């Protein structure tokens, strides 16, 4: 039995950053921490996960865990959970975590909280409490769990400083036998189309430069790309800009887009509707360029410039260029 089980994720030959973040979040709950890795051929990944400092790494390997069927991952994770009997389960708000977490929780009859930004134990009861932004980040809900099954918590990315790998670790690497029958697999991905991404992925970016309807067209996004490239960041957008076809929907931040938590979120021509703020309220610093001093987004801003981006942006880009080159 482990106190907290985190669903780790792989990315090519390495681990997805969410793995270290979940280990760090699990540590805040105290007790023993295990990382589960699901896949095929995980020996090297297991060592990497062990270096993050959990008490154990649970490797569930099967040829069926080849990335083509979420059903296989749900079946495997259910078996890992039943074998480890965790007191709480953390998964990332990633394509894998968002699919596997809720479906596994359902199979175990467990309560689940989505889109959480922090977890803690109640000082008196010792029970797990999760925090999640609500009303577009204007308030925080504290979620407590009922029932005998372990609470499942879906954690946003980049809300915890990831656990740092260390060469000296005494984590046990344990193989968990999982059985995935052909009848467990009801849906399989038959094709995947890789989308070319310029620069860093928006989910991983520590700097995001986001544009909205106030940009007036697709061309100004090239200016935002300039700033993003200078700062090693990614370009995001409001839904209005995506709906207008100025930028791909993959860049959309918000309730129906991506939830991000960069160190710096620079917005240009975005009004700050609650549905947009739902996706960026965890940003550490929000910097705003908007010509309307009453725009809602200024309420969330650490720094802001009231002005037309056409006048503000050229000097801004030059200053950033001078500072970073
Ligand atoms: C169910 C639902 C889900 C939604 N999900 C999302 C979501 O995920 N993400 C999202 O973003 N929205 C979402 N929306 C839409 C949301 O309500 C807003 O309509 C949208 O965010 C507005 O985008 P915007 O800020 O770019 O545009 P606007 O609200 O039109 O704001 C444009 C801003 O640009 C400023 N501006 C104009 N010209 C200039 C200039 N020259 N220089 C500087 N500033 C200028 C204006 O002052 C204004 O503040 C959703 C809505 C619904 C109903």
| Distance from the Cα of residue 258 to its chain's centroid | 9
What are the tens digits of pLDDT across the range 150-174? 999 999 999 999 999 998 888 999 9
What is the DSSP pairing of strand 285-290 with strand 264-268? Answer: parallel
Q: What atom in ligand 1 is closest to the CA of residue 308?
A: 42
pLDDT score at 202: 93
Quick one: which H or E segment has residue 11?
A: strand 10-11
pTM of the model: 0.87
The reply to whether 207-324 shares the fold of 4-184 is: yes
Spell out the domain ranges in the chain: 4-184, 207-324
Whole-angstrom CA distances from 180 to 50, 66, 85, 176, 185 are 25, 12, 20, 13, 8
DSSP 20-74: HHHHHHHHHH-S-EEEEEEESS-HHHHHHHHTT--SEEEEEE-TT-SSS-HHHHH
Confidence of residue 77 (pLDDT cuts 50, 70, 90): very high
Binned at pLDDT 50, 70 and 90, residue 135 comes out as confident
Identify the three-state secondary structure at position 15: strand
In testing the pocket of ligand 1, which one of 137, 249, 256, 275 has its CB within 8 Å of the most ligand atoms? Answer: 275
Q: What pLDDT was estimated at residue 169? A: 80
Does pLDDT of 198 surpass 80?
Answer: no
Domain spanning 4-184, CATH architecture:
3-Layer(aba) Sandwich (3.40)
Measuring from atom 8 of ligand 1, which residue has the nearest CA?
254
Backbone angles phi, psi at 181, to 5 degrees: -85, 155
pLDDT exceeds cutoff 80 at 137: no
* Lowest mean pLDDT segment, chosen from 111-115, 196-200, 261-265: 196-200
> 298 with 272: CB under 8 angstroms?
yes
What value does the mean pLDDT take over residues 63-89?
A: 98
Instruction: Using alpha carbons, select from 151, 176, 164, 190 the residue that is nearest to residue 68.
Output: 190
**Residue 166 has which token pair?**
């260390």
CATH fit for domain 207-324, picks 3.40.350.10, 3.30.1360.200, 3.40.50.300, 3.40.50.1220: 3.40.50.1220
pLDDT of 260-294, one tens digit each?
Answer: 999 999 999 999 999 999 999 999 999 999 999 99
Closest CA to 262 of 238, 280, 242, 288: 280
Ligand 1 atom 14: residue of nearest CA: 275
State the distance from the centre of ligand 1 to the C-alpha of 7, rounded, in angstroms.
35
DSSP string covering 106-145: HHHT--EEEEESEEEE-TTT--EEEEEEEGGGTEEEEEE-
Q: Is 267 in the pocket of ligand 1 (CB under 6 A)?
A: no
């Amino acid at each position: 039995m482990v106190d907290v089980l985190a669903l780790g994720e792989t990315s090519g030959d390495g681990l997805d950053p969410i793995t270290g973040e979940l280990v760090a979040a699990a540590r805040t709950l105290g007790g023993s921490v295990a990382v589960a890795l699901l896949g095929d051929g995980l020996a090297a990944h297991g060592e990497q996960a062990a270096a993050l400092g959990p008490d154990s790494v649970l490797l569930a390997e099967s040829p069926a865990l080849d990335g083509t069927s979420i059903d296989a991952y749900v079946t495997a994770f259910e078996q890992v959970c039943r074998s480890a009997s965790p007191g709480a389960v953390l998964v990332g708000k990633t394509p894998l975590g968002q699919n596997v977490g809720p479906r596994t929780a359902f199979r175990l009859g467990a309560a689940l909280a989505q889109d959480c930004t922090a977890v803690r134990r109640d000082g008196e009861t010792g029970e797990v409490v999760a925090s999640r932004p609500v009303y577009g980040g204007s308030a925080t809900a504290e979620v407590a769990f009922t029932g005998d099954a372990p609470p499942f918590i879906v954690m946003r990315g980049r809300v915890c400083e990831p656990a740092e790998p260390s060469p000296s670790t005494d984590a046990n690497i344990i193989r968990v036998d999982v059985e995935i029958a052909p009848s467990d697999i009801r849906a399989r991905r038959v094709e995947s189309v890789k989308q070319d991404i310029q620069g860093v992925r928006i989910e991983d970016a520590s700097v995001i430069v986001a544009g909205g309807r106030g940009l007036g067209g697709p061309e100004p996004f090239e200016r935002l790309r300039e700033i993003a490239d200078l700062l090693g960041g990614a370009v995001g957008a409001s839904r209005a800009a995506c709906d207008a076809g100025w930028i791909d929907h993959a860049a959309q931040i918000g309730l129906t887009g991506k939830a991000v938590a960069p160190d710096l979120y620079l917005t240009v021509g975005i009004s700050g509707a609650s549905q947009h703020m739902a996706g960026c309220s965890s940003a550490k610093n929000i910097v705003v360029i908007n010509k309307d001093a009453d725009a809602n987004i200024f309420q969330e801003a650490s720094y802001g410039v009231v002005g037309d981006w056409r006048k503000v942006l050229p000097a801004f880009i030059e200053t950033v260029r001078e500072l970073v080159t």
